[in-house]
Amino acid sequence: MNKKTKLFGLQKEIELKRQNERNRRRDIKLKKETNSTRHSSYSGKRFLGLSPSKQPVWVKLSLDKNSKLLTMSTTHNLEILLYKDALLAQSRLSLKLNEKVNQFDLRIALKDTRRNEGGKVTKTTLNYIQKLIEVVDSKSYPAFVNNQPSKLFFQYVASCVYPGDSNLNTGITWVDVCTYWGLPSGEYFTMERFSKVDISEKNKNNYQYDAHVKDYLNNQSRLAK
């Protein structure tokens, strides 16, 4: 076999690999587009920690495909995670909104591994989440365009709370939503554009807590006397 024949064979092999890669990307794009049309909403939650009474604290998001209505909420006021005996998540745990919570996963998320694995919840994290919630509630520009979240703002929210399900057969990610659901592009901005938020336990008496937290705080007050 001469050099010319070897070169031709090599070029053919390279072109075949390129074609296979194009086909793979086309198939992935088709699956993502199909999955995006099947879903009517994008919903998820992130575990933030345990309240002093050891109740799981979550932040949730939901985006309706047709109305483009974006909502964010928390199961507790975030200040509760700053109180004594509260526990902050040390690593990230994000799930579909209705996905069953595995207690083992909660324990793993609370475990301090002494390694920076990403997703550790701090006061800064809580302040950022509260800022996102306030912007969602106010539908402030430029995060919202004609009362619809911009692609960039939805990226900020989803990346913080629930980046999505990357399963090619059934899942959908925030990237797919931005690509196929027709969110407005809007202008570029950072969250520093909005007012600073500082969560402080100084205002704890101004909030209504669930029954478990109320009982816990009352018990702590009695023990302190």
SS3 222: helix
- Say if residue 137 is exposed, middle or buried (CB neighbours under 10 Å; 0-12, 13-18, 19+): exposed
Overall pTM > 0.75: yes
What is the Cα–Cα distance from 142 to 145, expressed in whole angstroms? 6
Counting as low any pLDDT under 50, the low residues of the chain are 201-214, 216-217, 220-221, 223-225
pLDDT at position 38 is 87
Q: Which of 75, 172, 92 minimizes the C-alpha distance to 133?
A: 75
pLDDT at position 168 is 76
Instruction: Decide if 121 contacts 48 (C-beta within 8 A).
Output: yes
